[in-house]
Amino acid sequence: MSSTDKVQLPKSLRMIIMGPPGSGKGTQAPKIADKYCVCHLSTGDMLRAAVAEGTALGKEAKVIMEAGGLVSDEIMVNMIKENLGNQECKNGFVLDGFPRTVVQAEKLDEMLDKNNTPLEHAVELVIDDQLLVARITGRLVHSRSGRSYHKIFNPPKVHMTDDITGEPLIQRADDNEQTLKKRLASYHSSTKPVTEYYRKRGIFSEVDAARSQVAVWQSLMAIFSSKN
């Protein structure tokens, strides 16, 4: 049994996870949800699902999006509230993609406090921008399966060819340095006030995401067990 397995798991886990594109949120968030038997709420996925299912909130959001507008904070918070009523969220949640502003953070806190389910952790996966650029601009993808490779860190056995099917690999159009730097600048400018908000609340933690997936995971486990 590993040292992390001996750590007593918290009875509940209510957190948000933040991080720039390529920081590893998509890897760690589902693992957290599985380990702690909580739900993973990606706001983008929730929004798409609500629209596809034709829920009341989904219909409202669809009208706004089709008109080229931004879905309101109220709709997003209510969508989160609706999902928190699901059975898989009874032990808590990992919220990914929201809040992006201090106003959204305040609205989220207000809703969670009314439900007596206050946020326990706000974690940011932190990584140097230049390392992210190197990681993402070298990314290669097999479009049909979603399998990913990297020109330097995880190259395919045959140049630009999927190891399993032998089909060609592609590089996504937005996986270029210019686009990525703009996305990173936008992320930092919008996220800094949010991290400060949670830092003042005493629930903010940073994790060095430049390390291995195992090291990042161990850091997350230590954060969650520290408030057990």
From CA 103, how far away is CA 194, in angstroms rounded? 9
| Residues in binding site for AMP | 43, 48, 69-71, 97-100, 104, 172, 183
Whether the predicted model's global pTM rises above the 0.85 cut = no
Q: How many angstroms separate the CA atoms of 49 and 51, rounded?
A: 5
> What backbone torsions phi and psi does residue 53 show, to the nearest 5 degrees?
-80, -15
Active site residue ranges: 25, 100, 139, 172, 183
Cα torsion 21, 50, 59, 119: sign: negative
Instruction: Report domain extents, the chain.
Output: 14-226
Which residues share a beta bridge with 16? Answer: 95, 122
Q: Provide the CATH topology of domain 14-226.
A: Rossmann fold (3.40.50)
Burial class for 206, CB neighbours closer than 10 Å (0-12, 13-18, 19+): middle
Q: Taking each helix axis from N to C terminus, what angle separates 43-53 and 56-66, rounded to the nearest 10 degrees?
A: 100
Per DSSP, helices labelled H in the chain are: 3-6, 25-36, 43-53, 56-66, 73-84, 102-114, 129-137, 177-201, 213-226
Per-residue pLDDT in tens (0 to 9) along the chain, 228 residues: 444 444 565 678 999 999 998 888 888 999 999 999 999 998 888 888 899 999 999 999 999 988 888 889 999 999 999 999 999 999 999 999 899 999 999 999 999 999 999 999 999 999 999 988 888 888 898 988 878 888 888 899 999 999 999 999 999 887 888 888 888 998 999 999 999 999 999 999 999 999 988 999 999 999 998 765
For residue 153, the model assigns a pLDDT of 80
